């Protein structure tokens, strides 16, 4: 019979075989390597693992081989090899292995009622520090990954505590205990819960009956700044302003995994992953929100299509969404730093980039800086030179005026200030879709940042970087784009060697999922990906 192997990642790393503890290597780097392979659940290139854990003065390749030899003695059994390695890659085969991280993730993804005792066990696990004692073992990229993983663990703990507090079988004293713990780590989320659940800490008013899960009535003033435990409340309020979500999108919204990473200047960037298969990374563009985007008439169906075939990765750039709003640097170079931080935090090795609007320029710059990591560029509605560089004097004056209007009226209830953008982004959208986007923009960033974004976009200039792009590239652009003229897309395609250019029959800067050009765009991208094997 196959021995029962168990691995615990919360608290100090522990391995058990048939319930008995297994001695781990004395080397903290070897233990960190095992934890990284188990937690990430995917193959990693040997070179990348060497970079993560061993510096050049050592012999990284020899150190990796030594560590793998030690780890095989810990987790491999006569009947099963769990450390899988070839000349290129190393991975951990989880077949038949119990892990506390995997158990918790599996239970939280299911929407059925979890027993109180199981929730309490999960809370006990999650209250411990994820991989305690392994800080500083590797290079800064490993520390970033560890920080992000601990953010994920905190998010899971908030979800468990919310389920405990609102469990139909919970007693009042127990509910109060769990509410106090929840309050200590997520006070804003608890405040929002109290507003919805009523006066009792976990009960429906004076009846004393246990409360069901809360349903939000109003969104917080700045949902992008609220902890993840409160995101669902903000999301529900915003969804009422737009089209109903399909069942597929609601499931996807629950399934996506949100984490945080830190850029070189200390800015926290939120990112989300969903789906399975090879990764594809979408760079940020004009105002994103990892939760609200799913109901968007712009993004919803597109996200569904991409995540069916790939591991789809998105992030909120600094200044908007779930990322830090209060930042000193809101510039093009900072936007590239945001992208670099996400790719490094997820230890992505080679992947295509999907750029939209100003995200195209960010993608181009990243591809030039990291040619070994970018397998292809998919650029939609982009430009290489910002409006301060390429626009006429009259257009620049108009843009300056819009920036001033943004500062004055962006955060008000009057949508006229935001409608300026909605109409030029989507002139063929319905009134309901425009209203959705008006509200989406207000919820996603502050008036000051909305103006700062416009200013920063004006200085973008990657024209001299186009010829240095090595990755296969496809450029798609609406023929009658009201925001970015077709010529700007043609200029990108002309500047990148062998780039393919696909004009789209649309007036919209960002394609709507109902228009024929949307299907043309996706079909062209699908053929491009298959043709180049990216």
Q: What is the pLDDT of residues 7-31, one digit of tens each?
A: 999 999 999 999 999 999 999 999 9
Mean pLDDT for the chain? Answer: 83
Give the Cα separation of 343 and 311 in Å (integer). Answer: 13
Average pLDDT over residues 89-116: 89
Angle at 309 between CA 304 and CA 313, to 5 degrees: 65
Average pLDDT over residues 75-88: 91
Measured from the Cβ of residue 479, the count of other Cβ atoms closer than 10 Å reads: 13
- Choose the weakest-confidence range: 55-69, 447-461, 516-530: 55-69
* Nearest CA among 330, 344, 329, 336 for reference residue 364: 336
Residue 164 host element (H or E):
helix 140-165
pLDDT at 110 (0 to 100): 72
Give the Cα separation of 56 and 317 in Å (integer). Answer: 33
Confidence of residue 514 (pLDDT cuts 50, 70, 90): confident
pLDDT at 198 (0 to 100): 57
pLDDT at 240 (0 to 100): 39
- Choose the weakest-confidence range: 129-133, 226-230, 275-279, 350-354: 226-230
Give the Cα separation of 164 and 450 in Å (integer). Answer: 39
206 contacts: CB under 8 Å, gap ≥ 6: 199, 200
Q: Over 60: is that where the pLDDT of 286 sits?
A: yes
493 contacts: CB under 8 Å, gap ≥ 6: 473, 475, 499, 500, 501
Q: What are residue 444's phi and psi, to 5 degrees?
A: -90, -25
pLDDT in tens, 197-208: 655 544 433 333
Query: To which residue do tokens 């799913």 refer?
Result: 294
pLDDT at 220 (0 to 100): 33
| 8 Å CB contact between 249 and 294 | yes
pTM for the full model? 0.57
pLDDT at 392 (0 to 100): 79
pLDDT in tens, 254-281: 578 888 999 999 999 999 999 888 999 9
Give the Cα separation of 244 and 157 in Å (integer). Answer: 29
Rg of the chain (C-alpha set): 24
pLDDT at 289 (0 to 100): 87
pLDDT in tens, 364-374: 999 999 999 99
* Nearest CA among 28, 3, 26 for reference residue 16: 3
pLDDT at 221 (0 to 100): 36
| 8 Å CB contact between 316 and 283 | no
Q: Most confidently modeled of 205-214, 272-281, 409-418, 442-451?
A: 272-281
Give the Cα separation of 125 and 117 in Å (integer). Answer: 13
Measured from the Cβ of residue 478, the count of other Cβ atoms closer than 10 Å reads: 26
Burial of 501 (0-12, 13-18, 19+ CB in 10 A): middle
Domains along the chain with CATH numbers: 5-99 (1.10.10.10), 100-224 (no CATH), 263-532 (3.40.50.1820)
Q: Look at the alpha carbons of 198, 199, 201, 204 in this order and tell me if their dihedral is positive or negative.
A: negative
* Nearest CA among 483, 487, 490 for reference residue 507: 483
| 8 Å CB contact between 125 and 157 | no
In percent, the amount of the chain with pLDDT more than 70 equals: 83
| 8 Å CB contact between 469 and 497 | yes
Q: What are residue 218's phi and psi, to 5 degrees?
A: -140, 150
pLDDT in tens, 316-356: 999 998 899 999 999 999 999 999 999 999 999 999 999 99
Give the Cα separation of 346 and 1 in Å (integer). Answer: 36
């Amino acid at each position: 019979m196959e021995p029962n192997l168990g691995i615990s990642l919360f608290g100090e790393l522990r391995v058990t075989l048939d319930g008995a503890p297994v001695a781990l290597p004395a080397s903290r780097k070897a233990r960190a390597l095992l934890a990284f392979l188990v937690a990430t659940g995917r193959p990693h290139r040997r070179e990348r693992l060497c970079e993560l854990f061993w510096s050049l003065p050592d012999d990284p390749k020899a150190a990796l081989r030594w560590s793998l030899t030690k780890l095989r003695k810990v987790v491999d059994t006569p009947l099963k090899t769990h450390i899988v390695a070839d000349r290129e890659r190393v991975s951990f085969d989880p077949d038949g292995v119990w892990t506390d991280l995997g158990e918790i993730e599996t239970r939280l993804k299911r929407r059925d009622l979890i027993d109180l005792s199981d929730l309490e066990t999960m809370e006990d696990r999650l209250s411990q520090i994820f991989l305690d004692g392994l800080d500083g073992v590797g290079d800064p990229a490993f520390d970033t990954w560890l920080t992000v993983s601990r953010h994920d663990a905190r998010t899971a703990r908030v979800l468990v505590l919310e389920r405990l507090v609102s469990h139909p079988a919970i007693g009042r004293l127990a509910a109060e205990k769990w509410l106090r713990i929840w309050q200590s780590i997520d006070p804003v989320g608890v405040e929002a819960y109290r507003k919805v659940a009523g006066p009792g800490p976990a009960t429906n008013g004076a009846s004393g009956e246990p409360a069901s899960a809360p349903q939000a009535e109003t969104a917080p003033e700045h949902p992008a700044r609220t902890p993840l435990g409160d995101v669902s409340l903000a999301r529900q309020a915003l969804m009422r302003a737009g089209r109903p979500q399909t069942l597929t999108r609601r499931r996807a919204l629950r399934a996506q995994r949100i984490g945080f990473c830190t850029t070189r200047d200390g800015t926290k960037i939120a990112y989300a992953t969903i789906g399975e298969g090879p990764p594809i990374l979408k760079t940020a563009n004009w105002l994103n929100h990892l939760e609200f985007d799913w109901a968007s008439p712009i993004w919803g169906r597109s996200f569904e299509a991409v995540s069916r075939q790939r591991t789809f990765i998105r992030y909120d750039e600094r200044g908007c969404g779930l990322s830090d709003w209060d930042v000193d640097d809101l510039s093009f170079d900072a936007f590239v730093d945001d992208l670099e931080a996400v790719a490094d935090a997820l230890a992505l090795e080679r992947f295509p980039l999907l750029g939209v609007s100003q995200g195209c320029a960010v993608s181009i710059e990243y591809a030039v800086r990291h040619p070994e990591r970018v397998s292809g560029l998919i650029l939609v509605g982009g430009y290489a030179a910002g409006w301060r560089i390429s626009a006429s004097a009259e257009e620049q004056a108009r843009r300056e005026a819009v920036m001033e209007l943004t500062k004055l009226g962006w955060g008000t209830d009057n949508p006229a200030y935001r409608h300026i953008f909605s109409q030029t982004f989507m002139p063929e959208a319905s009134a309901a879709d425009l209203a959705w986007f008006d509200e989406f923009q207000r919820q996603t960033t502050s008036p000051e940042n909305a103006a700062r974004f416009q200013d920063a976009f004006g200085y973008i200039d990657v024209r001299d970087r186009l010829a240095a792009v090595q990755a296969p590239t496809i450029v798609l652009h609406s023929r009658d784009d009201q925001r970015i003229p077709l010529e700007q897309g043609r200029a990108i395609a002309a500047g990148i060697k062998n780039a393919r250019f696909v004009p789209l029959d649309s007036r919209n800067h960002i394609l709507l999922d109902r228009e024929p050009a949307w299907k043309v765009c996706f079909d062209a991208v699908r053929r491009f990906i298959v043709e180049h094997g990216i």
